[in-house]
């Protein structure tokens, strides 16, 4: 039984890790200044976007999920013909249409997959499941890495689905947005009022960099600093201490909306690397993808790990 894993391009993972594990990325459409781009999570294309400045707040940028028909076509051409069982983990359904469209596409595929499978020379039945990751960015990447680990354990498809769906609630995420005003403007265009105008003004006027912490997207501010590097160091301190205390999966996922030179200069990054190495944990360090950067803003950072219930303050 060959099991395949699908994520969308809001999922941040190192390119080499995704390629090594044959991860299929469901594209997202990015619309910037009226020009349409397809985000395949290609690292070269992503780097070009950062260098061009297209992701900066001076540009009109938004993302759009592939339609049900587009996703159905991809599933029939790329998934049905290659795998016997497939799991599609999407960015949280509360922030995107991807889960809904992928679910509708799955239903259509399950009713009509036989001809495509037969033409590809694959025997036997095909089954599929679309899962709401309840995560964004690095959190979604962490879930994908854990799922790949479970796939390697040769669990039954029902056991695998149960493990993945229960694991989503064990992921904790830290986000440091670089510009609250940017997030508010992007959220306003989506009809999302979770970032108030006052908070955006306060962050801009006083140069405040908040740390948003919580399970999945249910985060809340746990610290406010007037220096981005101070905020980063707090998150790194938290991650190091939590790694040393023990994790529920041997991964820490960290995605950064920065150039690689800026990423390597992040305070505390090498300490986190050392802590991961000493504790048998793999640090999944990636440049934030186009879709993620449009959502939370260039310059932002997202870190995710899985652990028993805890508070951010316990590891400061």
* DSSP-H helix ranges across the chain: 15-20, 43-52, 68-74, 98-112, 114-119, 138-151, 157-167, 180-190, 197-206, 228-245, 260-264, 269-278, 290-296
Residue identified by tokens 């030179």 is 261
Q: 282-287 and 127-132 as β-strands: parallel, antiparallel, unpaired?
A: unpaired
Q: Domain check: are 55 and 125 in the same one?
A: yes
Span 158-187, average pLDDT: 87
CB 100 within 8 A of CB 21: no
Based on the fold, state whether residues 211 and 286 are members of the same structural domain: yes
Q: How confident is the model at residue 252 (pLDDT cuts 50, 70, 90)?
A: very high
Rounded to 5 degrees, what angle do the CA atoms 180, 231, 238 make? 125
Of 20-24, 30-34, 256-260, least confident by mean pLDDT is 30-34
Predicted pLDDT at 51: 83
Q: Supply the range of the domain harboring residue 163.
A: 3-169
Tokens matching residue 285: 């360090």
Q: What is the CATH number of the domain that holds 21?
A: 3.40.50.10170
Buried b (16+ CB within 10 A) or exposed e, 160-182: bbeebeebbebbbbbbbbbbbbb
The SS3 call for residue 174 is strand
147 with 231, same domain: the answer is no
SS3 call for 187: helix
pLDDT tens digits along 112-156:
999 999 999 998 999 999 999 999 999 999 999 999 999 999 899
Based on the structure, what is the number of domains in the chain? 2
Same-domain pairing of 206 and 115: no
CATH number, domain with residue 210: 3.30.1180.10
- Work out the mean pLDDT of the chain and round it to a whole number: 90
Which range is least confidently modeled, 121-130, 288-297, 298-307?
Answer: 288-297
CB distance 130 to 103 below 8 Å: yes
pLDDT-derived band at 33, boundaries 50, 70, 90 = confident
- Read off the pLDDT band of 59 (50, 70, 90): confident
> Are residues 79 and 211 located together in one domain of the fold?
no
The three-state DSSP-derived secondary structure of 196-214 is CHHHHHHHHHHCCEEEEEE
Per-residue confidence at 217, pLDDT binned at 50, 70, 90?
Answer: confident
Q: Are 65 and 98 in contact (CB under 8 A)?
A: yes
Q: Domain boundary at 114, 141, 169, which?
A: 169
Consecutive H or E run containing 130: strand 127-132
For residue 292, the SS3 value is helix
Higher pLDDT among residues 178 and 228, named by residue: 228
d(C-alpha 212, C-alpha 181), whole Å = 15
Do residues 73 and 180 share a domain? no
My answer on whether 156 and 270 are in the same domain is no
Last residue of a domain, one of 169, 186, 205: 169
Residue 187's pLDDT band, with cuts at 50, 70 and 90, is low
Q: Rounded to whole angstroms, how far apart are CA atoms 90 and 43?
A: 20
CB-CB contact of 223 with 210 (8 Å): yes
96-116 per-position pLDDT tens digit: 899 999 999 999 999 999 999
Q: Which of 153, 169, 185 is the last residue in one of the domains?
A: 169
pLDDT greater than 90 at residue 11: yes
Residue 198 has pLDDT above 70, yes or no: no
Q: What pLDDT score was predicted for residue 203? A: 59
User: So what's the pLDDT on residue 53?
Assistant: 77
pLDDT the model gives residue 56: 72
CA–CA distance, 185 with 187 (Å, rounded to integer): 5
């Amino acid at each position: 039984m060959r099991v395949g894993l699908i994520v969308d391009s809001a999922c941040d993972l190192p390119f080499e890790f995704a390629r090594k594990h044959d991860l299929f990325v469901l594209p997202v459409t990015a619309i910037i200044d009226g020009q349409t781009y397809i985000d395949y999570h290609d690292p070269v294309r992503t780097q070009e976007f950062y260098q061009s400045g297209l992701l900066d707040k001076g540009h009109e940028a938004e993302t759009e999920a592939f339609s049900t028909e587009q996703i159905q076509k991809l599933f029939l051409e790329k998934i049905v013909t290659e795998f016997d069982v497939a799991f599609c983990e999407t960015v949280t359904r509360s922030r995107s249409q991807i889960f809904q469209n992928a679910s509708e596409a799955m239903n259509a595929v399950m009713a009509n997959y036989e001809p495509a499978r037969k033409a590809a020379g694959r025997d036997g039945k095909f089954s599929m499941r679309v899962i709401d990751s309840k995560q964004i960015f690095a959190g979604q990447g962490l879930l994908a890495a854990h799922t790949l680990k479970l796939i390697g354990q040769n669990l039954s498809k029902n056991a695998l689905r149960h493990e993945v769906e229960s694991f989503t609630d064990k992921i904790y995420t830290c986000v440091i947005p670089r510009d609250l005003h940017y997030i508010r403007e992007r959220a306003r265009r989506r009809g999302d009022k979770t970032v108030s105008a006052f908070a955006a003004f306060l962050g801009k006027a006083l140069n405040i960099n908040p740390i948003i912490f919580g399970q999945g997207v249910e985060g809340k501010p746990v610290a406010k600093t007037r220096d981005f590097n101070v905020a980063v160091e707090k998150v790194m301190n938290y991650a190091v201490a939590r790694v040393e205390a023990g994790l529920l999966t041997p991964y820490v996922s960290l995605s950064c909306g920065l150039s690689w030179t800026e990423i390597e200069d992040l305070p505390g990054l090498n300490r986190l690397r050392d802590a991961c190495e000493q504790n048998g944990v793999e640090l999944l360090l990636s440049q934030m993808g186009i879709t993620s950067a449009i959502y939370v803003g260039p310059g932002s950072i997202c870190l995710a790990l899985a652990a028993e219930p805890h508070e951010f303050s316990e590891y400061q």
